[in-house]
Amino acid sequence: MKDAIAAAFAESIRVKQAFLRDNLDVLMQAIDAVVAAFKSGNKLLLFGNGGSAADAQHIAAEFVNRFRVERPPLAAIALTTDSSALTSIANDYDYSQIFAKQVQALGKPGDIAIAISTSGNSANVIAALDVCKQSNIRTIGFTGGSGGEMAKDVDFLLNVGATKDTARIQETHILIGHVICELVDATLYPTK
């Protein structure tokens, strides 16, 4: 058991180090884009399925409430939380439209979106990215493995490419989200 635990930690560390090596510049650009959106009075939309839905909600909460410093709330909405909207869209249209229709309703030019999919191939995430593109909403993609379809559909691709293991990808995604929160706060509220 000790060996299995140590191996899981070692693999998670390896994947995170590989991500940083391969994505540092794009991560800095994505952070700058989130800062610019908030400075302009725009909002952050987040979406994904399963564990990625939980990550979307987690990151949105860090912005709306606070991360590390006391500061005014920042406008962030996880499109994974309104069960009535999600189920009515899935029922009346198709599950692939659950995020796209919400982006149409809530998004506006100048907003920014974080799309999360460990495979990069979630149909509902891809559909929402298409709406973002049509609506002049910049996009950040958290994905893994090859990057999937999302690799060509986002403005800033943050791909955990050193593994296809969902757990290791998700562990890296939440670190990415926390780093974005921390540096957005430090940029917008440097004296806090």
pLDDT at 7: 96
Burial class (CB in 10 A: 0-12, 13-18, 19+), 41: exposed
pTM assigned to the model: 0.96
Question: Rounded mean pLDDT of the chain?
Answer: 97
Q: What domains lie within the chain, and their CATH numbers? A: 2-188 (3.40.50.10490)
Task: Please check the confidence at residue 106 and state whether its pLDDT lies above 90.
Answer: yes
Residue 192 is predicted with a pLDDT of 63
Instruction: Say how far apart CA 109 and CA 192 lie, in whole Å.
Output: 30
List the beta strands (DSSP E) in the chain.
44-48, 76-78, 112-116, 138-144, 156-160
Q: How far is CA 101 from CA 4, 48, 90, 132, 166, in A?
A: 43, 14, 10, 11, 27
Q: Which residue's entry shows tokens 């940083």?
A: 20
Cα–Cα distance for residue pair 16/49, rounded to 1 Å: 22
pLDDT beyond 70 at 5: yes
Our measurement of the distance from residue 145's CA atom to the centroid of its chain's CA atoms, rounded to an integer in Å, reads 16
- Across 70-148, the runs of DSSP E, i.e. the strands, are 76-78, 112-116, 138-144
How far, rounded to the nearest angstrom, does the alpha carbon of residue 83 sit from its chain's CA centroid? 20
Residue 69 confidence (pLDDT) above 80: yes
Neighbours of 14 (CB within 10 A): 13
The pLDDT score that the predictor gives to residue 70 is 94
Residue 6 to residue 59: CA distance in whole angstroms: 28
Average pLDDT estimate for 23-46: 98
Strand partners, 76: 44
How crowded is the C-beta side of 172, counted as CA atoms within 13 Å?
32
pLDDT per position as a tens digit, 120-137: 999 999 999 999 999 999
Residue 151 pLDDT level (bands cut at 50, 70, 90): very high
Residue type, 33: A
Q: In whole angstroms, what is the distance from residue 171 CA to residue 181 CA?
A: 16
Q: How confident is residue 191, by pLDDT bands cut at 50, 70 and 90?
A: confident
pLDDT at residue 109, rounded to an integer: 98
